[in-house]
Amino acid sequence: MASFLDSSARRYPSRANEKYRKSVSIPTVNIRRIFIFALESAGVGLVAAVALLLLRPAFLDRHQPVVELHQSAGIGLAGGSGDGDRAGPVSYADAVERAAPAVVNVFTARVITERRSPLLDDPLFRYFFGDSLSANKKRLETSLGSGVIISPQGFVLTNNHVVADADEIQIMLSDGRNAKAEVVGLDPETDLAVLKIELTDLPSVVIGDSEHIRVGDVVFAIGNPFGVGQTVTQGIVSATGRYKLGISTFENFIQTDAAINPGNSGGALINAHGELIGINTAIFSQSGGSQGIGFAIPESLAKDVMKQIIERGRVVRGWLGIEAQNLTPALAESFGLDNTNGVLIAGVVRGGPADQAGINPGDLVLTVDGKAVVDAHEALARISRSTPGTKIEVDGLRKGQPFQAQVEIIQRPTRLRE
């Protein structure tokens, strides 16, 4: 029987497992249905995610930080806004076009008499060679520079060293006109000069504000370098308040890396708005050409000098007759001070205002007219701007004890300018 069943099972395997197949149902796999189900699930999940972001956007803030960016508002260097005013970083043509017509070329000429050798006065020499060689020789020396038309009345501001000792001065404008210039006044102590030309319809520069310029501001130097014609060079303000350069007596220069070369002296230093902020004066160079260190007289100083020259014919400055020295940390500590503000009186001119007021060498001046003194340069500049006849209060320390003196400022003597 067993063998029969075994043989039957071998012959008819479906019959032998019929009972098992009835008790266990094996489902048929449908791949198409599974794929459709997966797509429907993904779609439902995507819709739920979008709805969550729209209805609860703050939900994601719990999981990642929010990055805040300060986007540019589209403000150009010229001060405009919007897409139409973004030409500043691309071109400064408008600023240059505004200032360039007021920058002029300055040509000077003077007759130089060459001193003859004393040997020519020897009778024996004159016997053999005659008197033709004994006569003084004269030659014409010419130079060039730049200037800036300050007002439509024809006043031109330039450097003193450009026109000093000139017998004739010619001004050439950018529009091709030229005129003879007369000297209104000179101020060697700031290396400034004011000229006057008689022409109509003159362009004039717009005066800027040199008191609030900052290191890094874009500037342009306009002038006539090497006589090639009007040229514009670009740079930035490298430093302000430069002094002790040995260029002039009263120094407060703007330093710039805008290329300044021989012939640029007296030309304009303008800002990105085309406004005058300085008069180009000197360069620091070992080769005679620009090395990226140029100096300009700030318009605030130049404007004050120009007004005095036009109104009075000369510059009047206050004077106390003192020699001042900056405080070092060691000196400040010896006086019992916790800072280096103030100046040490290193010398007093005998018979001068300070001497008459009882100020002595070794005195420490801390305030002038109630205002703190920062350093010697600032103190002397403040005194020089004071009107002669003005009385000022000086406070300080003398041998460790406070002292006060009243000093009457007088006009700076002319002999000190030589």
- CA distances, 219 to each of 88, 149, 335 (Å): 13, 19, 43
**Among the listed residues 410, 415, 188, the one whose alpha carbon sits nearest the alpha carbon of residue 319:** 410
Kindly list the catalytic residues: 161, 191, 265
389 CB contacts (<8 Å, ≥6 apart)?
A: 408, 409, 410
Q: Is the separation of the CB atoms in 318 and 411 below 8 Å?
A: yes
How far is residue 260's CA from residue 262's CA, in Å, rounded to a whole number? 7
Helix/strand/coil for 164:
coil
Tell me which residue has tokens 């002595």: 360
Helix/strand/coil for 281:
strand
Helix/strand/coil for 330:
helix
Tell me how far apart the 2 most distant CA atoms of the chain are, in Å: 173
Instruction: Identify the bridge partners of residue 207 per DSSP, sorted by sequence position.
Output: 276
Q: Is the separation of the CB atoms in 412 and 356 below 8 Å?
A: no
How far is residue 164's CA from residue 182's CA, in Å, rounded to a whole number? 12
Q: Is the separation of the CB atoms in 180 and 169 below 8 Å?
A: yes
First to last CA, the chain: 148
336 CB contacts (<8 Å, ≥6 apart)?
A: 400
Q: Is 152 left (phi over 0), alpha (psi -120 to 50) or beta?
A: alpha
How far is residue 35's CA from residue 42's CA, in Å, rounded to a whole number? 11
